[in-house]
Chain A
Amino acid sequence: MAKISLNINGKKHEVDVDPKTPVLWVLRDHLDLVGTKYGCGMAQCGACTIILEGSAVRSCVMPVSAVANKKITTIEGISENGDHPVQKAWLEHDVPQCGYCQAGQIMTAVALLEKNPKPSDEEIETAMNGNICRCGTYLRIKAAVKTASNA
């Protein structure tokens, strides 16, 4: 066990956990931030995507010791009231079916648009290709990213 300081959604947290614990489980079990989802535990599906220092990363394979004091944003932290342009675009296109993968999809999209505010269709497809949606909402995801990029 080790005490680790975390900077999540602009707030400081201190946790006392096994330093190898993936960030995903620290968020979900210790900090009650359950918007970040468990899907595969091996960085294959993207359900656990968070933004670390501006880049989309897979929290399920990222040990908490590696992110001490680094700036982390989760789905709960991208806006106060669900009014981030990406969230608004998701609602406009009524993207979700089951909804389980969507937080990860949204976080990947947010990170993409921060780096590339006007991505082409191909750039959107490439950026979003690591996030699986078993319900098959891919076209709406792409349309929503496009809408958000024009917001």
Chain B
Amino acid sequence: MKVSALAGGGMLLTFSWAEGFTPPSGDASALAEEWSELNSYIKIKANGVVTLMAPNPEFGSNVKTTLPMMLADELDVDWKNVIVEQADFYPERFARQFTGGSQSVRQAWKPLRTAGATARQMLVNAAAETWSVPANEITTSAGELLHKSSGKKAGYGEMASKAATMSVPKDVPLKKINDFKIIGTSKKNVEGHGIVTGKPLFGMDYKQEGMLIAMIVHPPAFGKKVKSVNDSAAKSMPGIKDVFVIKTLADDYERNGFDTTTFTELVVVAGNSTWEVMNAKKALKVEWENIVDSNIVVEGRGGKETVKIPAGLESTQGHNARMLEMSKKTANVLRKDGDPEKAFQSAAKVLERTYTAPYLAHNTMEPVNCFANVTADKAEIYGPTQAPEFISRTLSARLGLPKEKIHIKLARMGGGFGLRAYCHHMVEAAVISQKLSAPVKLVYTREDDMTYGIYRPTYTATYKAALDKDNNLIAFHVRGGGIPEHAVHANRFPAGAVDNYLAEGWALESNITIGAFRAPRSNFIAGAEQSFLDELAELAGKDPIAFRLELLERAKTKPVGTNNDYDADRYAGVLKLVREKSKWSETQPNVHRGVSAYFCHNTYVAEVLDLEVKKNTPVINKVFAAVDCGIVVNPDSAANMSEGGIIDGIGNALFGELTFVDGVPQKSNFHQYRLIRQKEAPKAIEVHFVQNEHDPTGLGEPLFPPVFGALANALYKATGKRYYNQPFAKDFQLTPSRM
């Protein structure tokens, strides 16, 4: 926590997890006079109106509402008097302006409450000084300060300007859970009204005087690059200003893991209006040529790494053949307990199954876009981003401007799902603006967006398990691979519950780029593992929930190894809760049930999915979910996120797939790439949260992975056939339901 003097005489309190950061200077001069700023997150007007800053970019998980609720509760104000404002990217003032990994609520829990509680204490101290009474005799309630014995009262607004000059107290205690007034109550989306009235909230909606529209043409295939451009027809079309080629990143630029390597050379068309630019784009004649093998340096979590980008035009058929071949070979041992080989030899029964999943495109409803206005001495960027801090170094290096001269404003995102952690569009827009010396909005067509890369990787996993003559699980082996990464989490369940355990992983290189996609890796491995455990329970003649609970009991009472990354009690807790809520033991005629449970992103989830088959189409009647994410900050919003994760998971499990022929993505828009629609959604979803006092964890991802398994297991009950390969609808003759 650091304090620095404001230009206006107030104190500025910021929270940073980065060591040795530079305090901001002269930045608060823009603050309107009537506002008193108590810290980076909180300012209060003389009339008592409170503005709370929403530090994280919003992509639909409702962090713009939920994070300020934490500030408001500790500050002790009435939510009705709160205005929430989206913060710009400002790392010196706001910690962790990143939305992703289901971490926003979890990571903000202490810092934001501390910010609220500290500001409250400053108001109390101001009142104590004004009234000449001890601070510890002053209480607060809904934005009011009260000194009971003297009867003195004041609104926060009356004390705000004084409070802003007080020294910042240290180690202010936080509220006890029972004292929360806002946390734990449902607050509606602060941007709801703007959304339902069509306000310009998104990057795509942004406009500035003199702004040009720019579009890109990227290679039609992975493994290709620009050879030559014939722009004579396009350049002379109405409304067109310029056509040129940009290089966004130098080949030897040391990237971070979020600087995509997809297409760094792009053809740009810029003009007055979207339609004119779209037409000119079609009139361009671009010749492409094959790339050659190259290497790039990427600064990852494990330090600098040289990554090979192989030449070649890759196809799904070839990928699948190579993956099948690899899954038969031994791979990197990630974890080994006991003597799996010996246990398999002595087994009474052995089950081995292989699961696969294709590449997936994110398909955020808002296509990639970004506004940039780059001048000689500064850059203004406005667009969808989950992770401005991941791109600021690259923008600075590419534009030749110091970081502090690059102002990134955070647009509401029309979906993220991981895609917008990769901010190539910000670099592209900025480079185009710099080249044109004009404000520019870069707009991708849906086709540009879907065929650009940064996909969920294609994966496979082979599971093998051994039962003894009493149907106890005595050995478990997972060997997973993928392009260009595997999805095995070696220390997750059922590691720790089996004496003889082996996890292996392998990966193949590719020039098709990948990126984080809602619950990376878990989004495949959960469904595979949970389908396998279902089949294994059946082979053991055990109820699938009882079978899992038996393993969890083993992991709790006599764990194997020390590195197991789950709490067996909380895991079992969600299974028991979903068993109770779904009335698991009761069956209904023609209703087929599947269960699944998974722990990822710090949250435990169990799901039961009920379906019926009508006219050869599975109709999902209901999904029950039990969730342990600790304290639920904004319950109805948490339920919304949970429902969305389930529906999105069902959609991707049934339909999600992107294939390639000679490097060309075989789908480019929604007539080919099927997303789940209203009719295919479950008819009902019930979400039950475990009530406990653990610090909160996240919900953006954890509901998504297990539903792949619950669906596969219910489909098996309905059809007698196991579903090993995503998307499941390929094997199941589903009636198209599109209008």
Contacts and interface: CB of A to CB of B under 8 A. Distances in A.
B366 interface: yes
6 contacts: A30-B273, A37-B202, A82-B196, A91-B196, A134-B415, A140-B643
> Which of B207, B238, B275 neighbours the largest number of chain A CB atoms within 10 Å of its CB?
B275
B365 A100 contact: yes
B550 interface: no
Interface in B420-435: none
Interface stretch (B168-176, B184-192, B221-229): B184-192
Contacts of A124: 678
B363 A136 contact: no
B301 to A, nearest CB: 28
B363 A35 contact: no
Nearest to B681: A138
A47 B670 CA distance: 12
Interface string B66-90: 0000000000000000000000000
B644 A136 contact: yes
Contacts of A76: 197-198
Contacts of B446: 39-42
Minimum-distance CB pairs A-B, first 7: A35-B198, A100-B414, A136-B647, A98-B60, A75-B198, A97-B60, A44-B670
Interface residues of A, number: 60
A48 to B, nearest CB: 11
B738 A129 contact: yes
B611 to A, nearest CB: 16
A41 B192 CA distance: 26
B389 to A, nearest CB: 21
B289 to A, nearest CB: 29
Interface stretch (B242-250, B253-261, B587-595, B633-641): B633-641
B645 A132 contact: no
Nearest to B672: A44
Interface in A38-80: 38-42, 44-45, 47, 74-76, 79
B189 A94 contact: yes
Contact of A37 (B366, B416, B676): B366
Given A34-B198, A94-B188, A100-B366, A136 B739 contact: no
Q: Give chain A's interface secondary structure class.
A: loop
Given A36-B198, A45-B365, 18 more contacts: A18-B276, A21-B273, A32-B207, A35-B197, A41-B669, A42-B669, A87-B196, A91-B193, A96-B191, A97-B641, A98-B414, A99-B414, A102-B195, A129-B738, A133-B365, A136-B644, A136-B645, A138-B676
A137 B644 contact: yes
Contacts of A28: 205, 274
Contacts of B274: 25, 28-29, 38
B61 interface: yes
A96 B195 contact: yes
A142 interface: yes
B205 A34 contact: yes
Contact of A94 (B59, B192, B273): B192
Contact of B678 (A81, A98, A131, A135): A131
A139 interface: yes
A129 B676 CA distance: 9
Given A38-B367, A99-B412, A130-B738, A44 B669 contact: yes
Contact of B195 (A25, A99, A130): A99
B199 interface: yes
Nearest to A137: B644
B521 to A, nearest CB: 21
Nearest to B647: A136
Nearest to A39: B365
Nearest to B198: A35
B193 A37 contact: no
B357 interface: no
